[in-house]
Chain A
Amino acid sequence: MNVSYDWLKELVDVPATPEELMDKVSRTGIEVDSVSRMADGLKKVVVGRVESLKMHPDSDHLHVAMVDTGEGELRQIVCGAPNIKEGQTVIVALPGARIGDNVKIKRGKMRGVESDGMICALQELGFANDIAPKAYDAGIYVFDEALKPGSDALAALGMEDAVLDFEITPNRADALGMRGVAWEVGATYGNKPHFNDQPVVETGKPVADYLTARVTDQTDAPAYQMRVVDNITIKDSPLWLQRRLWNAGIRPINNIVDVTNLIMLGYGQPLHAFDYNKLGSKEIVVRRATAGEPLTTLDGNAHELTEDDIVITNGKQPIALAGVMGGLDSEITAGTHTVAIEAAMFARTPIRKTALRYNLRSQASARFEKGIDVGSINKALDEAARLMAALGDGVVATGTLDASHVAATPVEVDISLDRINHILGTALDAQMVAGLFDRLGFGVKEEDGLFAVMVPTRRWDIHIEADLIEEVARLYGFDNLPSTLPTTTMTIGEFTPSQARRKRSRKLLEGLGLTQIISYALLSPDKASAFALAPSEETHVAFPMTEDHQTLRRNLISGLIDALAYNVARKQTDIALYEQGRIFPRSAGHSRPQEVEYIAGALSGNVIQAGWHQAKQPVDYYYVKGIVETLLADYRLAQPVAYEALVDDPAMHPGQSAKIMLDGEVIGLIGRLHPQFERDHSINETYVFELNLDALLAAARTEMTAVPAPKFPSVTRDIAVQVPQTVTNAEIQAVIAKNGGKFLQDAHLFDVYSGKKLAPGLKSLAYTLTYRRGDATLTEEEVTKAFSKVEEALKAELGAVIR
């Protein structure tokens, strides 16, 4: 809401500059975003009178004007505007002037004729095209009154007025009118507004002679009031009215339309003016539109209406979209002679939806959406009728049409002093609180610390205790509240086991060299579904903004690959990333997806770059597996984790990928991306892993109990096992573990060989077996016996050759 400082001062005493007012009101009531003056940066622009005019000798469209700018001597100015005429009062930018767009005016010659300044259009002073009056679109602006030549044109145009941009929150729609603002500003400084209202004088025929009005459903239009003004002459509004409009960002049109806008700005009450003679009937009926019913609105657009639209009709067809926009057929035009004015209150939600549906949100529809003061509907209507008659030389018909109305009764809200102090943490006294309510213009009665507060209809946002407490708090001043910490019985603050584990897993991966990313949970359907550990339904948002962000992810790897590709495209090829977040699998038959905490990583390029002292270390399957094993070891899982070759995921390398299994369940995957997938995504050789953290949290853990450091020495024996290529390490380890005997502590794989020294199809794996007894030093015989048992088992079960 653009608030004119000059206008505001007519309504209430403001003991502050516009800038001071901005600061103060922002702290106590409504945020003021800025103070601006249209004249900022402009200078040496004066009023001039065109005394004589002749054609430029060397041009078919330029004129040479002799202009009185109050300096005794006339000033010769060449002007190209087609609408310039002798006797006009115009805007003159003198040599040395600065006008809009920071343009500087200099004395000069135009086609050989001296030009000592420039006659201006409003746009040249910085007016937006949609605010400057349409009549002067093709030329210079002409004042409709004879202002003194040489006087300040910027002041005459109201451009030196300070305009405060009030950011109105939905609860403070009362300040969408200057009167509401005056109350608010008055309360801030302890001043009551003075409105100097004048009564409407009804000298015309009874309004019932012109028109009837009726509302079919009072919930759609709780209040609907009309007046008629007859015998009016359409013309431009006087300058004072135009100034008010354009300073509020509204374009002056003509005296009738301008009055409706002026009243809306003053009272916050949107009005509509119909050309009575173009209604097509003598009745007004407010109802819902029928489906497909046509209406062409003022902007010239034809609409097919729906049953959700409230319309004003002439009893047969719609003539206006209620609260949103009038119809073209009953528009006020130069020939309008009789005006029917509507002041109404419409149901908020239908107005909002209609305005959205036809993309017709306006200052009027916004006010109906946010609510209006039922107490000022008729005041606004009366003032509009009075002004239209005055400015259009017309007469006001006697009486008001009352199709529906709402009683304007104040609301009583009771509250105790204790309650106020209890909520605010203050020790205010009753007199201070009563004084604050009085500043707001609320009626207040107090007895033994109990207030009965009468809230006028203009503050329809206030109806419960908390609302009154807010009024007290802000006017008393938030700065004056003490600062304390809550005193309650003691509470314990601690992370849940799941939260603590997630944080710990994040730290661990960071320690292992992975940088955390946060990617999007909404992805394209393809990306959302890739790498899934289990089959699941897709979940989409109903109205996505883009195709890339429409489906809830069921893996974290796709986001990591997006980040990887982003880096690779920027020549960053040595990358180690992880993300911790949720995936959203959904079971068939359920509308709601589950939310499962996952952690995943993607590595590409070198984990260590070649240096003067280090060889480069490219990432490979086993490096990533080391990361996964370290992370899993931290969970102290009671059951062993198994890696099962994953051969059928189209995005994964069929020979270098595995499902990670715990207790027969898939809890993750690891491996290289499929080279084709890598190419398709313009990334290099990349290894990924993904783990279901919730599954890990739910899994059985080993107890942490202290085991003393061994007292007796351990003995090691190395064994080289030659087996066919198809035999896996896991199989060999299983045989060793099963046959190792009770003293076997560890079987550490230290070499894998396949090559020239072995026949094709064979490989050799070498292990160090560590034996130890807890209660005695092992004898040579004990170790040898246990070791040969392993050897025999490997031969027998795997056909191994022991070397």
Chain B
Amino acid sequence: MDLKTKLEQLREENQKRIKETEDLDVLNQIRVNLLGKKGPITEVLRGMKDLTPEERPKVGAFANQIKADLQENLQKRKDALEQAALQAKLATETIDVTLPGDQVPVGTPHIIDQIMDDIEEFFIGQGYQVVDGPEVEEDHYNFEMMNIPKDHPARDMQDTFYIDDQLLMRSQTSPVQARTLEKHDFSQGPLKMISPGRVYRRDTDDATHSHQFHQIEGLVIDKRITMADLKGTLLALAQHVFGADRKIRLRPSYFPFTEPSVEVDVSCFRCNGKGCAICKYSGWIEVLGAGMVHPNVLTNAGVDADVYGGFAFGLGPDRFAMLKYGVDDIRSFYQGDVRFLAQFKEEG
């Protein structure tokens, strides 16, 4: 048998063995046996010394060809076996992707604070300052400075938590406006502020009353602030809070610290003005009070009411939350029931 035949026979036999091997270790053994220094191909090549110089390169090339073929077969088989092993491993690793994920503790901001934060950021964006003030307030700032003189019915002991003759729990956040007005240097520019915070009234807690609740009051004072500016500002606010399609309307009202005074209705966000239970079939919902700052309030704070003027508004985040999310009992905000509080994931 010549060398060439031997080589071809080797290839035939081993290709079959490689193809039939199911085990990577066995395959590796085949490779070592076949291609190693003591393997049959080396053995065959060793017999080349007996060949003629003409035949030697031919048989040599042929032997290399056979070797390459077998190497390729080995590699292919190895890849196939590895792939199969991987597939088998993956099959055992399959999980039920519908099982629930791990619980990661996460808290929820209070819905009132969400509303306050949202409104604060809205006004920050328009160049307003957010001003905090004391919750224990002087009668002077809470009432006197706001043009609510001594014998005004709103100052009855029945309505306000007094601590002593001079001190009380603030019943509104407007005293913060009075304090800021007093300090503001108008030569440095206009005053644009909101004052958010907790306020207190001497009410019995029930579904619609709470002795503690929240207010955000706004104030803009400069030389050329108009009631049209108030209307535009409140329209932008209403659309920000209640939706871009909202309209507002102003109705005459009375507050001691503004003149003219208005109550502001927003077109119903539930029925879009057609009439529903939320808006009591009027198409409108009363959301806040506003007006042009009463000259007495400016004069009280030492601001020249002939030169400066502007608008003020006040809104109740509790009421906003009740309206917007259909909360029917204001006490829910203060009881701390986690099932109630945790449902208000942040908007936006």
A515 and B153 in contact, given A478-B231, A483-B228, A509-B107 (Cβ under 8 angstroms): no
B166: shortest Cβ distance to chain A, in Å?
8
Assembled-state Cα–Cα distance A541/B166 (Å): 12
B167: shortest Cβ distance to chain A, in Å?
6
Assembled-state Cα–Cα distance A630/B170 (Å): 35
Does any Cβ of A come within 8 Å of B97's Cβ?
Answer: no
**Complex contact A567–B336 (CB within 8 A):** yes
Does any Cβ of B come within 8 Å of A517's Cβ?
Answer: yes
Q: Which residues of B contact A29 (CB under 8 A)?
A: 252
**Complex contact B103–A582 (CB within 8 A):** no
Assembled-state Cα–Cα distance A592/B163 (Å): 9
Which residues of B in the span 330-344 have a Cβ within 8 Å of any Cβ on A?
333-339, 341-342
Q: Mark A542-586, 1 if CB is under 8 A from B, else 0.
A: 111100010010000000101110110010100111100110100
B196: shortest Cβ distance to chain A, in Å?
10
Q: Identify which of B107, B337, B341 gathers the most chain A CB atoms within 10 Å of its CB.
A: B107
Q: Which residues of B contact A563 (CB under 8 A)?
A: 335-337
A611 and B103 in contact, given A515-B342, A567-B338, A592-B136 (Cβ under 8 angstroms): yes
Contact of B292 among A466, A490, A607 (CB under 8 A): A466
Assembled-state Cα–Cα distance A108/B291 (Å): 63
Which residues of B in the span 237-258 have a Cβ within 8 Å of any Cβ on A?
249-254
Assembled-state Cα–Cα distance A542/B236 (Å): 42
Contact of A493 among B129, B162, B253, B342 (CB under 8 A): B129
Contact of A522 among B103, B189, B211, B236 (CB under 8 A): B211
Does any Cβ of B come within 8 Å of A431's Cβ?
Answer: no
**Complex contact B103–A609 (CB within 8 A):** yes
Q: Which residues of A contact B228 (CB under 8 A)?
A: 424-426, 481-484
Does any Cβ of B come within 8 Å of A422's Cβ?
Answer: yes
Q: Mark B222-236, 1 if CB is under 8 A from A, else 0.
A: 101111110111011
Q: Mark B312-348, 1 if CB is under 8 A from A, else 0.
A: 0000000000000000000001111111011000000
Assembled-state Cα–Cα distance A171/B192 (Å): 28
A interface, size bucket: 35 or more
Assembled-state Cα–Cα distance A638/B228 (Å): 51
Q: Which residues of B contact A511 (CB under 8 A)?
A: 106-107
**Complex contact A541–B161 (CB within 8 A):** yes
In the complex, the number of residue pairs spanning A and B with C-beta atoms less than 8 Å apart equals: 258
Assembled-state Cα–Cα distance A608/B129 (Å): 41
Which residues of B in the span 134-148 have a Cβ within 8 Å of any Cβ on A?
134-136
Does any Cβ of A come within 8 Å of B82's Cβ?
Answer: no
**Complex contact A27–B249 (CB within 8 A):** yes
**Complex contact B189–A513 (CB within 8 A):** no
**Complex contact A499–B132 (CB within 8 A):** yes
Assembled-state Cα–Cα distance A57/B333 (Å): 67
A517 and B107 in contact, given A484-B228, A491-B192, A593-B136 (Cβ under 8 angstroms): no
**Complex contact B292–A469 (CB within 8 A):** yes
Contact of B100 among A30, A566, A567, A612 (CB under 8 A): A612
Q: Which residues of A contact B166 (CB under 8 A)?
A: 591
Does any Cβ of A come within 8 Å of B266's Cβ?
Answer: no
Identity of the chain A residue whose Cβ is nearest the Cβ of B168 in the assembled complex: A541
Q: Which residues of B contact A425 (CB under 8 A)?
A: 226-229
Q: Which residues of B contact A613 (CB under 8 A)?
A: 99-100, 102
Q: Which residues of A contact B123 (CB under 8 A)?
A: 493
Listed stretches B15-23, B47-55, B109-117, B270-278; interface member: B109-117
Identity of the chain A residue whose Cβ is nearest the Cβ of B163 in the assembled complex: A541
Assembled-state Cα–Cα distance A614/B261 (Å): 60
**Complex contact B224–A487 (CB within 8 A):** yes
**Complex contact A492–B127 (CB within 8 A):** yes
Q: Identify which of B200, B261, B338 gathers the most chain A CB atoms within 10 Å of its CB.
A: B338
**Complex contact A611–B254 (CB within 8 A):** no
Identity of the chain A residue whose Cβ is nearest the Cβ of B96 in the assembled complex: A612
Does any Cβ of A come within 8 Å of B108's Cβ?
Answer: yes
A608: shortest Cβ distance to chain B, in Å?
5
Q: Which residues of A contact B100 (CB under 8 A)?
A: 611-613
Assembled-state Cα–Cα distance A169/B263 (Å): 12
A47: shortest Cβ distance to chain B, in Å?
36
Identity of the chain B residue whose Cβ is nearest the Cβ of A578 in the assembled complex: B107
Q: Identify which of B161, B167, B235 gathers the most chain A CB atoms within 10 Å of its CB.
A: B161
Q: Identify which of A469, A484, A506 gathers the most chain B CB atoms within 10 Å of its CB.
A: A484
Contact of A516 among B102, B107, B229 (CB under 8 A): B107
Q: Which residues of A contact B151 (CB under 8 A)?
A: 348-349, 352
**Complex contact A495–B336 (CB within 8 A):** no
**Complex contact B162–A491 (CB within 8 A):** no
Does any Cβ of B come within 8 Å of A524's Cβ?
Answer: no
Does any Cβ of A come within 8 Å of B128's Cβ?
Answer: yes
Does any Cβ of B come within 8 Å of A763's Cβ?
Answer: no
B288: shortest Cβ distance to chain A, in Å?
14
Identity of the chain A residue whose Cβ is nearest the Cβ of B254 in the assembled complex: A169
Assembled-state Cα–Cα distance A595/B163 (Å): 15
**Complex contact A521–B198 (CB within 8 A):** yes
Total contacting residues, chain B, CB less than 8 A? 86
Assembled-state Cα–Cα distance A544/B203 (Å): 10
B134: shortest Cβ distance to chain A, in Å?
6
Does any Cβ of B come within 8 Å of A439's Cβ?
Answer: no
**Complex contact B338–A577 (CB within 8 A):** yes
Which residues of B in the span 154-200 have a Cβ within 8 Å of any Cβ on A?
156-157, 161-164, 166-167, 169, 189-190, 192, 198, 200
**Complex contact A467–B333 (CB within 8 A):** no
Does any Cβ of B come within 8 Å of A714's Cβ?
Answer: no
B159: shortest Cβ distance to chain A, in Å?
11
B214: shortest Cβ distance to chain A, in Å?
8
Q: Which residues of A contact B253 (CB under 8 A)?
A: 31, 169
Q: Which residues of A contact B310 (CB under 8 A)?
A: 486
Does any Cβ of A come within 8 Å of B11's Cβ?
Answer: no
Identity of the chain B residue whose Cβ is nearest the Cβ of A421 in the assembled complex: B226
A611 and B153 in contact, given A425-B226, A470-B259, A516-B108 (Cβ under 8 angstroms): no
Q: Which residues of A contact B127 (CB under 8 A)?
A: 490-493
Q: Mark A9-29, 1 if CB is under 8 A from B, else 0.
A: 000000000000000001111
A515 and B167 in contact, given A169-B253, A466-B260, A495-B124 (Cβ under 8 angstroms): no
Contact of B251 among A26, A170, A495, A510 (CB under 8 A): A26
Q: Which residues of B contact A31 (CB under 8 A)?
A: 251-253, 263
A629: shortest Cβ distance to chain B, in Å?
16
Does any Cβ of A come within 8 Å of B216's Cβ?
Answer: no
Q: Which residues of B contact A30 (CB under 8 A)?
A: 252
Identity of the chain A residue whose Cβ is nearest the Cβ of B339 in the assembled complex: A572
Q: Which residues of B contact A521 (CB under 8 A)?
A: 135, 169, 198, 200, 212
Q: Which residues of A contact B235 (CB under 8 A)?
A: 483
Q: Which residues of A contact B105 (CB under 8 A)?
A: 512-513, 576, 607-608
**Complex contact A423–B249 (CB within 8 A):** no
A423 and B226 in contact, given A352-B153, A520-B212, A608-B103 (Cβ under 8 angstroms): yes
Identity of the chain A residue whose Cβ is nearest the Cβ of B262 in the assembled complex: A478
Q: Which residues of B contact A172 (CB under 8 A)?
A: 254
Contact of B161 among A544, A593, A612 (CB under 8 A): A544
A499 and B130 in contact, given A30-B252, A425-B228, A576-B107 (Cβ under 8 angstroms): yes
In the A-B complex, the 5 residue pairs with the closest CB atoms: A563-B336, A513-B105, A425-B228, A425-B226, A169-B254
28 contacts between A and B (CB under 8 A): A30-B252, A31-B252, A31-B253, A352-B151, A352-B153, A422-B224, A423-B227, A423-B292, A423-B309, A424-B227, A424-B228, A425-B229, A469-B259, A470-B252, A481-B227, A483-B228, A484-B226, A486-B229, A488-B225, A491-B129, A491-B190, A513-B105, A516-B109, A518-B113, A519-B334, A521-B200, A521-B212, A591-B163
A residues with a Cβ closer than 8 A to B are 26-31, 169-172, 348-349, 352, 356, 369, 422-426, 464-467, 469-470, 473-474, 478-479, 481-496, 498-499, 503, 506-507, 509-522, 539-545, 549, 552, 560, 562-564, 566-567, 570, 572, 575-578, 581-582, 584, 591-593, 595, 607-609, 611-614
With A466-B295, A467-B259, A510-B108 already in contact, 10 other A-B pairs whose C-beta atoms are closer than 8 Å: A349-B151, A426-B228, A488-B190, A510-B106, A510-B109, A513-B107, A515-B108, A545-B202, A552-B136, A577-B338
